[in-house]
């Protein structure tokens, strides 16, 4: 299978505002620019996702949210794959669609929650995403490309997978907390 652009043997690129506009996949994967922050792009992507959730939740019911999440996953898989290929990295830090998708899943399932409950969910999600305990670390390693190998759809899925596992871990902690 030939992948374009070629990724093996080429130096990684840096995402910037110009890169953001080079391809339709880039704004999606880069969280519409939130992933371009030089420090904490994952946190910026999560906060962007929280803000977008707050805006969309006013108009979407549970069935519509389920459809949005499925579409966001499918489109995100494509966008993250294309963006990783263009950046020549299997999981670039500037790609934050995985954080957006993960926090949407968490917030959708914990709602209705006040701002404190939402903030707690966001903080727990970031802790799982940053620390990568147990299953999150496993998911993070599962589809990583070896140095010099071609980046493809497996790596695009891998970008999303560890954050979905972090979201599930967050939901498990919240569910256990509510039981106590």
Burial class (CB in 10 A: 0-12, 13-18, 19+), 74: exposed
Quote the CA–CA distance of 67 and 39 in Å, as a whole number: 32
Domain spans of the chain, in order of start: 17-30+37-179
Quote the CA–CA distance of 116 and 80 in Å, as a whole number: 31
CA 153 to the chain's CA centroid = 15
The CB density around residue 94, as the number of other CB atoms within 10 Å, is 28
One pLDDT digit (tens) per residue for the chain, 180 residues: 445 555 555 788 999 999 999 999 999 999 999 999 999 999 999 999 999 999 999 999 999 999 999 999 999 999 999 999 999 999 999 999 999 999 999 999 999 999 999 999 999 999 999 999 999 999 999 988 877 789 999 999 999 999 999 999 999 999 999 898
Kindly give the residue spans of alpha helices, DSSP state H, lying in the chain. 17-20, 25-29, 41-57, 62-87, 97-110, 115-131, 134-142, 153-179
Q: How far is CA 133 from CA 55, 70, 95, 104, in A?
A: 31, 26, 21, 21
Residue 40 Ramachandran class (φ > 0 left, ψ -120 to 50 alpha, else beta): left
Task: Look up residue 38 and give its two tokens.
Answer: 């030089």
């549970």: which residue's tokens?
Answer: 62
pTM: 0.92
């Amino acid at each position: 299978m030939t992948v374009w652009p070629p990724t093996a043997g080429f130096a990684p690129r840096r995402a910037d505002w110009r890169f953001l506009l080079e391809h339709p996949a880039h704004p999606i994967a880069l969280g519409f620019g939130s992933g371009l922050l030089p420090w904490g792009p994952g946190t910026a992507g999560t906060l962007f996702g929280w803000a977008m959730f707050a805006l969309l939740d006013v108009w979407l019911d549970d069935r519509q949210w389920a459809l949005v999440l499925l579409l966001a996953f499918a489109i995100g898989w494509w966008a993250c794959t294309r963006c990783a290929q263009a950046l020549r990295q299997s999981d670039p830090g500037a790609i934050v669609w995985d954080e957006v998708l993960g926090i949407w899943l968490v917030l959708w399932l914990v709602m209705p929650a006040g701002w404190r409950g939402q903030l707690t969910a966001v903080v727990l999600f970031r802790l799982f995403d940053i620390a990568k305990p147990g299953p999150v670390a496993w998911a993070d390693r599962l589809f990583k490309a070896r140095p010099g190998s071609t980046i493809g759809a497996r790596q695009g899925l891998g970008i999303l997978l560890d954050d979905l596992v972090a979201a599930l871990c967050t939901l498990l902690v919240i569910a256990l907390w509510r039981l106590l």
